[in-house]
Structure 1
Amino acid sequence: MCELYSGTELALFELKSRSVRLDGVVTSIRLEAVFWKVIEDIASDADLSVAEFLTRIYKEVITKRGEIGNFTSLLRVACTTYLNNGKRIVL
């Protein structure tokens, strides 16, 4: 079973930074490549650009909680939730 995980392509683990505008503020988000691919798929499914999707999720959390503790962790959880709800990613 561990081969399933240990044999995963190294490129999927590569950290990638992207500069994005969230609610009018330019910031940098650093995530593993596989999460960027999932975010692209989520945005595409919603007919949004990646920046639009990130801004929407950012604003939704601010509205519900008043603050975001760790946005990259939130994005990772959003990605896994998306995948656990039956969506599968094709790289």
Structure 2
Amino acid sequence: MLRTLLWCGPCDLPMHPNPSRGQRTYKCGQGCRRGALPAEAVEAVTWTAAERRATLAAIRPPYRKSVLEQLLARVVVNSEAPDDLRFIWRT
């Protein structure tokens, strides 16, 4: 869901989906030492932030990616914790 929105804070580069041991994760692709983040946790925190920003509760999961792309310019990961995110909203 965050393929084009999730960015690594220290590297300032996009993070990419990275299947790891059968689980979906996101990882910085530029040799950053940041560990892989669990995709579901990062996506849930991001969606909760988006719901606070707009009335989005009625949007079904298949449409959430496009809604997030309209609301967010990027999501910056600040540490290895999936809830340590900074949201840059489109204006």
More strand by share: 2
More helix by share: 1
- TM-score, length of structure 1 as denominator length: 0.32
Higher relative contact order structure (alpha carbons within 8 Å, sequence separation ≥ 6): 2
